[in-house]
Amino acid sequence: MSAVNPQQGLRGELRLNEPMAKHVSWRAGGVAEQLYIPADVADMAVYLNNLPADMPVYCIGLGSNLLVRDGGVRGAVILLHGALREIRLESKQASSGVIYAEAGVAAPKLARFAAGHDLVGAEFMAGIPGTVGGALAMNAGCYGSETWLIASSALTINRQGQVRKRERAEYELDYRHVALREANEEWFVGGWFELQIGDGAASKQVIKDLLQRRIASQPLGQPNAGSVFRNPQGDFAARLIESCGLKGKLLGGAQVSTKHANFIVNAGQASAADIEDLIDLVATTVAEQCGVTLQREVRVIGDRLRGEA
């Protein structure tokens, strides 16, 4: 249900016991104890600074890489998509330019914005079904490129509401891995992307081609969360899963996609438990039959319902 903001000075929207199935692309899961949609970064800072020090905090964008368990989320969920959505051309020189995008901006929008300013190198972002914040947090990538290859720095916020600019060198970066070299709990609220000057029309065509490729190879017509597992070095998770005969495997309302084996879809009223149990079944089967331990790419938060394993 919606609620009036109880904390003085807040300008955003606070919702209590908010169904998270509305905010994750799997369309499954329980409720959040509280969900906050900030008005801007300054408002988010006030909200964070007013939270109890021991309250868990989760920042989400489009919910496209997230599973919320059926028992719901204790703590605060901050919804950035639709809130932190500023995108601007920061600078442009003879050979390069810099774009600033807030964390709630959809990754494909960044790709299109860059092409519209004759900046190239961000086309792959059109294939990422999430936001800039999520892409920065997990070094999201596809089609041979990754977020932190074009991100030069980021704007972050901590539990005390302090905002600071971080440079690329301050992070440990790897395949689907981003970690501060110093221990600190922070969330991304924006990023700067350095791109080369190029042919905007050609860039738009590349984006169009990538989207057509995505439509042809991924189950976009069914609720899903993108790739479930990271690709093992030198191999593909989808190939391993398919080799185990799991393509099309059903468990409750969840199914290994018949279109792409590294996608699990909500085939009809799946619970979060159905999806998580199918993820576990796939990982266990691949480990037993192929001797490969698949690493989950999706994030799982919240509590199982009482009585669930």
List the catalytic residues. 176, 227, 297
User: Judging by DSSP bridges, how do beta strands 177-180 and 145-146 pair with one another?
Assistant: unpaired
Tokens of 75: 């703590």
Cα–Cα separations (whole angstroms), residue 188 to 123, 135, 159: 21, 10, 12
Between helix 107-116 and helix 200-217 the angle, nearest 10°, is 150
Q: Which of 161, 167, 193, 163 is nearest to 182 (CA)?
A: 167
Per the listing, tokens 């005390």 go with 160
Report the distance separating Cα 74 and Cα 55, nearest Å.
Answer: 8
Report the distance separating Cα 237 and Cα 225, nearest Å.
Answer: 15
Residue type, 86: E
DSSP H or E segment with residue 149: helix 147-150
Cα–Cα separations (whole angstroms), residue 32 to 102, 115, 118: 24, 37, 42
Contacts of 152 (CB under 8 A, 6+ apart): 98, 167, 168, 192, 193, 194
Contact 34, 91 (CB under 8 A): no
Q: What is the dihedral of CA 130, 132, 135, 141, to 10 degrees?
A: 80
